[in-house]
């Protein structure tokens, strides 16, 4: 998965004047209830860490007081999911998206760039790029919304738009991210 900026670099984002609220109004109107939950976690997890538990199809953002906010996510398909440690490298609102070669191979009908805010843009309301090649934690399009909770992506972590907006506001560049089985 690639995100494109105005000079075409992958894993960068083209920022737009589209506001965060405007990017999610339609989704929030259709689905007003957040899927996130506050849950207990071992107090040994430091505050401000993202843990992706692939077997659960859940992302946890630790608060440091023995709790975390848990969000349902889609993870990478078999052979596409990543494991290990990284960190958030960038934060972007409603980015444009350029499908990488691996996606174009399976979906040759896709255009070279899908504009910010377009109904078929899989980045959704926001994207948190990771210090990995072509991987982000991002929202979703209305068409792909039902994939959250499954292994459906090409390696990215897909969230409901309302949840990625919530997480976006809680994290900063440099936030550690760990993906475990």
Per-residue pLDDT tens over the stretch 112-142: 999 998 988 999 999 999 998 889 999 998 9
Q: What is d(CA 162, CA 160) in angstroms, rounded to the nearest whole number?
A: 6
Q: Where are the domains of the chain?
A: 2-180
Phi, psi of 163 (to 5 degrees): -80, -40
Tell me the per-residue pLDDT of 16-67, one tens digit each, with 9 for 90 and over. 333 433 333 333 334 434 578 999 998 888 999 999 999 999 999 999 889 9
Listed in sequence order, the residues at least 6 apart from 138 whose beta carbon sits closer than 8 Å to its beta carbon are 122, 123, 124, 126, 127, 128, 156, 157, 158, 159, 164
**Average pLDDT in the chain:** 82
Q: What is the average pLDDT across 75-81? A: 91
Q: Which residues are catalytic?
A: 138, 156
Q: What is the average pLDDT across 11-16? A: 31
Q: What percent of the chain has pLDDT over 70?
A: 81
Residue 169 has a pLDDT of 96
Res. 72: pLDDT tops 70: yes
CATH C-level class of 2-180: mainly beta
Residue 3 has a pLDDT of 43
Closest alpha carbon to 126 in 19, 36, 52, 31: 19
Residue 26 has a pLDDT of 38
Sort residue 84 into left (φ over 0), alpha (ψ -120 to 50) or beta.
left
Convert 21-62 into a string of H (helix), E (strand) and C (coil).
HHHHHHHHHHCCCCCCEEEECCCCCCCCCEEEECCCCEEEEE
Residue 89 has a pLDDT of 97
Residue 123 has a pLDDT of 93
Listed in sequence order, the residues at least 6 apart from 87 whose beta carbon sits closer than 8 Å to its beta carbon are 130, 131, 174, 175, 176, 177
Instruction: Grade residue 70 by pLDDT with cuts at 50, 70 and 90.
Output: very high
Instruction: Grade residue 4 by pLDDT with cuts at 50, 70 and 90.
Output: very low
Instruction: Grade residue 102 by pLDDT with cuts at 50, 70 and 90.
Output: confident
For residue 23, what are its two tokens? Answer: 């990017």
């Amino acid at each position: 998965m690639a995100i494109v900026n105005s000079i075409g670099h992958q894993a960068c984002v083209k920022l737009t004047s589209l506001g965060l609220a405007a990017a999610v109004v339609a989704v929030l109107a259709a689905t007003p209830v957040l899927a996130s939950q506050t849950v207990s976690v071992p107090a040994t997890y430091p505050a401000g860490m993202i843990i992706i538990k692939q077997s659960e199809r859940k992302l946890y953002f630790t608060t440091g007081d023995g709790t975390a906010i848990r969000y349902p996510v889609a993870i990478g398909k078999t052979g596409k999911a990543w494991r290990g440690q990284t960190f958030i490298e960038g934060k972007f609102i409603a980015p444009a998206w350029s499908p990488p070669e691996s996606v174009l191979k399976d979906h040759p009908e896709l255009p070279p760039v899908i504009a910010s805010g377009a109904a078929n843009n899989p980045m959704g309301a926001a994207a948190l790029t990771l210090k990995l090649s072509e991987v982000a934690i991002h929202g979703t399009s209305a068409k792909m919304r039902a994939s959250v909770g499954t292994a459906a992506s090409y390696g990215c972590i897909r969230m409901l738009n309302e949840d990625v907006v919530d997480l976006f506001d809680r994290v900063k560049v440099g936030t550690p991210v760990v993906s475990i089985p």
